[in-house]
Structures are given as C-alpha cells and as structure tokens.
Amino acid sequence: MIRLLASLSMLVLALPALAADTVKLAITGPFSGGSAPMGTSMRDGAKLAISEINAAGGIQAGSTKMKIEVIERDDEAKNERGALIAQELAAMPDLSGVIGSVNTGVVMAGDRHLQEKGYTKIITPAAGSASMTQWVGKADDLSIFRFAAHDAIQASMVVEEATRQKLTKVAILHDATNYGVSGRDDLQREIKKQGDKLQVVATEKFNIGDKDMTAQLLRAKSGGAQAILIWAIGPELAAVANGMA
C-alpha cells in the first residue's frame, strides 16, 4: 500500500485544483454488506499508510509538504451505487485521486466517470482484471491503474492442478457478478488449451447471497464431475462447500 500511495502521490501533485496545504483522496469500497470484510481491510490498510505519511510531514511538493485528507464512500458492493459515487467524485473540483473499489462490477460501472475527467484512480487488486481490460482499445491516455497480475494466471494454476491430479471431468461454478463471469471465461479458456484432457460436464452460476446450491451441485454430480472449479467470493464459497458435504 505504501508503494501504491507513493505512485498516486506523484500523479496527484500534477493536478491544478489542490487546497493550499492538503491533498484530498477518496477511498471507496464495500464497507457494509457481503463484501465488507474485504472493503474494510482495504480501507484500514490505506488509512494506515496515509497516517504514516502524514505523521512524517506529508507529501513533498517542491519546498513544502502537503498532508493527505481522506473522504470515504461506501459502495456496498452494488454496481449502481458505485456508479453514483463515481459521478459524485468526478464532480469534485478539489479531489486529487481515488483508491478503490473491491468489486469488479462496481469498478466497471463507475470508472468511466473518473476517466472522462482524468482523475487518477488506483484499483484495489481484489477487483478482477476485467476492471482494466474493459479499456483495451478505448482509452489512449488512461488515468486508472491496477497493481496486480491478470486473473488468467490464477485460472491457469487451477486448471494445471486439475490435470496434475489426473481429473477428466469437472464442473465450473461461478457467481453471477462481473468478477464471476470473467473468472468463468478464464477457466474455460485454460481448459480449452488442454484439448481433450479435461471435460466440463456442467457450468452453473449463482447469485450473491444464495445459500442453497443443491440444484447446481446435483447437475454437476449427474454429469459425473470429479471436482468443482469455482470462481466466487467467501460467503458463497462456504455455501457451495456446505452443499457438497
């Protein structure tokens, strides 16, 4: 996070609309709702780094040092709320940059408003790589960054492990969010590279908040799946584990 803020600091100082002695940053994320554990840990980590920077005098800007002022916005892991928050932030003339959010769909729904105004945005690595690949061929001068490897690396490792265990039939389960759908696509792409080694006997989705995965798991079982390859976040992963048991 220190490295992240250092990168952001170099960019925000180039913006003209700064208060005399402060740099205003927004931290956005799911501080309530199902993704709150990820959102609050991200927020607390960012605020810890900011407090350390401020305690050391702030960001060096020429001969002066500028303290970082933080505003927070809770997107509740809801795409529509994320879009509204991004619109609000993009309209703030004294805002220097944004850190967040955690959920892929929230990022994809709102970042266009920040990009249109040229605001610097650092995306939390928890958000899927689709939050960045959405810009391919659409923006030559991108002000949005994500310091994390492409999700396909994870998908490749999952499929590699399945083949190492000599599995021949698997089912893919994923949540219905942008994160889950992009993960499903990455898994399918990696499986296709295996040729006939690995057969997908069922591809099933579920919604955030679902607690009963019986129907999806029965379809996987009836297809002869030896294992479940899954792309989702914590609470629903637990529901799948309980259903398998």
pLDDT at 9: 53
Helix (H) or strand (E) holding 64: strand 64-74
CATH of domain 152-244: 3.40.50.2300
Q: Which ranges of the chain have pLDDT less than 50?
A: 1-2, 4, 8, 10-19
Specify the CATH superfamily of domain 2-146: Response regulator (3.40.50.2300)
Q: Give the Cα separation of 214 and 46 in Å (integer).
A: 39
Cα Rg, the chain, nearest whole Å? 21
- Angle, alpha carbons 171-173-176 (nearest 5°): 150
Q: Where in the chain is the domain with CATH 3.40.50.2300?
A: 2-146, 152-244
> pLDDT tens digits, residue range 58-112?
988 888 889 999 999 999 999 999 999 999 999 999 999 999 899 999 999 999 9
Rounded CA separation 2/101 (Å): 17
Res 13: pLDDT: 46
